[in-house]
Structure 1
Amino acid sequence: MRGKRSKGLRLGTTVVALAALLVGGTACASEDDPASPGGTSPGGGGIKDGLSVAFLPKQVNNPYFTVSDNGGKAAVAEFKGEYKEVGPSEASASSQVSYLNTLTQQGSDVIVVSANDPNAICGAVNQARQGGAKVVTFDSDTNKDCRDLFVNQVTGQGIAENQVELISEAIGGAGKIAILSATANATNQNAWIELMKTELKKPEYAKIELVTVAYGDDKDEKSFQETQGLLASYPDLKGIVSPTTVGVAAAARYLSGSQYKGKVALTGLGTPNQMREFVKNDTVKSFALWSPADLGYLAAYAGAALASGVISGKEGDTFTAGKLGEYTVGADGVVVLGPPTVFDTTNIDQFDF
């Protein structure tokens, strides 16, 4: 099922797990539980107390990263570490470098970063690693040689299949579509877009034409304006895919108040709280996302496992991420959270993030 959407996925195990997290809160393991912070994990050894863990998102005050970083904060509290969040207000390529340098000087044990650019922070990341920090990328990766692990929200192929399937359903399998992305250098966005282009070459999507890719730079107003520009440039556009939480919400806001509502379909990756009103007023039929809180939570545990010597980051290493259970490191030091969840009118009110 990984990466493929189905009707059962909506109310299946992924949704149940999400609901348990969001409604039930964080459960604490007992001291004798192998998964507890002080116990012995399947990967060997336990998480050290007092680890300093810093989260460096693409930009602070972004709703998506607020949720994901708070998931990391919850994990750090569980294994009795010290948490902090720092970061730029602008998601530009080099904006994270100074923060990485400062965290290195402060002697951070673990740095969890979502890269704005695959190469711009590599020098600073390697300096941090030379200084003793374990560096985990999440959400958006660097060059694989510039970090210890990458915690991926879902496989790129899974995102591509999900997004193309959703927009195909929304436009009846035929018509012109556009993609509204984040920044032009965003590692994850670019990988997903290339995979979506490949997915669109399948016979079942032969009647769908991707006409352009626009960039809103993960800024609300620019994304809003880019949506307006797309519709002005392509008056026969049938749909927009925006695989970024800022972009899809801004596009939905524009469509909701325009003549294109109900005529131009929109899907993408967004949070239920951002998109609820647009689903309920029929601007958006469905969209998808993983649990950003789980992503941050998993990234924190992965970093702690590295810093504690539970794992080294090589393929086949296993570790326990608190309530999420056991994970295995894959090829190129990648750990995958799981498949995306589709949100629509049937389930959106079950979630609060």
Structure 2
Amino acid sequence: MRDSRFMRVLALLFAVVLGAAVITGCGSTKDDEESGSASSGSTAAETTAADSSATIKKGLNVVVMPKQLGNPYEELEDKGTVAAIEETGGTAKIQGPTDAAASSQVSLLRSITQQKPDAIVLAANDPNAVVPVLKQAQQRGIKVVTQDSDSAPEGRQIFINQATTQSIGEQLAKQALETAGSAGGEVAVLSATANAPNQNAWIKIMQTELKKPEYSKIKLVKVAYGDDDDQKSFQQAQGLLSAYPNLKSIVSPTTVGIAAAARYVSDSKYKGKVAVTGLGTPNQMRKFVKDGTVAQFALWNPEDVGYLGGYAAAALASDVITGKQGESFKAGKLGTKTIGENGEIVLGPPTTFTTDNIDKFDF
């Protein structure tokens, strides 16, 4: 009898242990495994070696995210990215927020990460806010390329820079000097958002340049933010001229801002008295150059920025490169490109547009 009870107890214990094992096994989902790998800090880039002899894979699925939908500059850039991906035999889908808030971009990136595309090509609205979700994407095997506006380096493998930060900042300072006139005077900056990493980096270099002796006649009185919104930028330009009646020049390192400022000045008492310059596209600025509102502005070809970003993403997703300094890959019509320090690839110096050359460009 005691033996019988003993056997029943053993059977009951065996059933409990077996049930626990089954429950533990069911709790180990794919997401849990990925979460576990995330805590180790490893990424696909750390475990995959580059193969310079490899070719770009066909059928890659790439998501392209601008700072916000409807931005003319971003549309040109994304057009280039899509063209590059399609050239390599892949498909590219543009998904972006309707506003320039970092939180909107982060929310959308979370959703995209769950879809597990081969790569994400992103223009970041904030250098730090996007990092956690971009790291999560990398841990799921998604390659990340930033273009035009970078995240912190740990958020991506490659950054496509239009030109060096130093050269753009120097260009903006030079524009301020040349458009203010020989007597110099007060200048203001009309930027995008207060957290835009590329804008802030350029303005910081510009401010450093303006401290040099050759810029002693220039006084930077204000950095205003139009949030890359046309109407807000228009109002900010109006506000600058109201607050600083002796202003000589508005320098806007954003295509939305420079067009809005030029539109306001062109139809005001300030036309011919206050210069507008900065970074813009020839097609949006042509009429302001020809009516005398804008004497000069500068930019690189945004389609080429996006095109290079698309080829970099395809090369990453095909293990042709991993993002390490010194690695090279073929970028279609742009030729061979080499990765520099901190995963950065520089497209090239900006072009200055004036009445003499603006009709030679169509973008």
Taking the TM superposition and a 5 Å limit, the aligned residue runs for 1:1-353 are 43-173=52-182, 174-353=184-363
Find the residue that maps to 1:95 and give its secondary structure: helix
The unaligned stretches of length 5 or more in structure 1 are 1-40
* Whole-angstrom CA distance in 2 between matches of 1:202 and 1:315: 33
**What SS does the corresponding residue of 2:104 show, helix, strand or coil?**
coil
Could you give the per-residue CA deviations for residues 41-89 of structure 1, whole angstroms, max 9, x where no partner exists?
A: 9943111101111110000111001111011111111100011000011
AA of the residue aligned to 2:195: N
* Contact residue 51 and residue 321 of structure 2 kept, 8 A: no
Contact 1:160–1:195 (CA<8 Å) still a contact in 2?
Answer: yes
CA deviation map 1:161-182 (0-9, x unaligned): 1121122111224111000000
Q: Tell me the equivalent position of 1:22.
A: none
Larger Rg: 2
Q: Give the C-alpha shift of residue 107 in structure 1.
A: 1.4
Do the aligned residues in 2 keep the contact of 1:43 with 1:320 (CA within 8 Å)?
no
Tell me the equivalent position of 2:16.
none
| Partner Cα distance (1:48, 1:338) in 2 | 27
Q: Which amino acid aligns with 1:308?
A: S
Alpha-carbon distance in 1 for matches of 2:64, 2:267: 36
CA distance in 1, matches of 2:337, 2:216: 38
Supply the distance in 1 between the matched residues of 2:166 and 2:329 (Cα, whole angstroms): 25
- Write the distance in 2 (CA, Å) between the matches of 1:170 and 1:101: 44
8 A contact 1:224–1:251 mirrored in 2: yes
What's 1:5 paired with? Answer: none
| In 1, Cα distance between equivalents of 2:79 and 2:259 | 21
Structure 1 CA distance, aligned partners of 2:213 and 2:181?
15
The answer to whether the 8 A contact 1:44-1:311 is kept is no
Length, aligned pairs only: 313
Partners of 1:160 and 1:121 lie apart in 2 by 25
Matching residue's letter, 2:353:
F
Whether contact under 8 Å (2:180, 2:187) holds in the other structure is no
Q: Deviations over 1:141-197 (max 9, x none)?
A: 111111111101110111111121122111224111000000000000000010000
The CA distance in 1 between the partners of 2:237 and 2:90, in whole Å, is 43
Q: Whole-Å Cα distance in 2 between the matches of residues 291 and 43 of structure 1? A: 28
The 3-state SS of whatever aligns with 2:250 is strand
CA RMSD after TM alignment: 1.2
Report the CA distance between 1:133 and its aligned residue: 0.5
CA contact (8 A) 1:167 1:266 kept: no
Q: In the aligned structure 1, how far is the partner of 2:63 from the partner of 2:362?
A: 25
Structure with bigger helix share is 2
TM-score by length of 2: 0.85
The DSSP-based 3-state class of the residue aligned with 2:103 is coil
Runs of 4+ in 1 over 2 A off after TM superposition: 41-44
- Classify the secondary structure of the residue corresponding to 1:53: strand
SS in 1 for 2:258: helix
- The aligned amino acid for 1:208 is I
| CA distance, structure 2, for counterparts of residue 258 and residue 281 of structure 1 | 13
More displaced, 63-72 or 169-178? 169-178
Which one has more relative contact order, counting CA pairs under 8 Å at least 6 apart? Answer: 1
Q: Post-superposition shift, 1:123?
A: 1.1
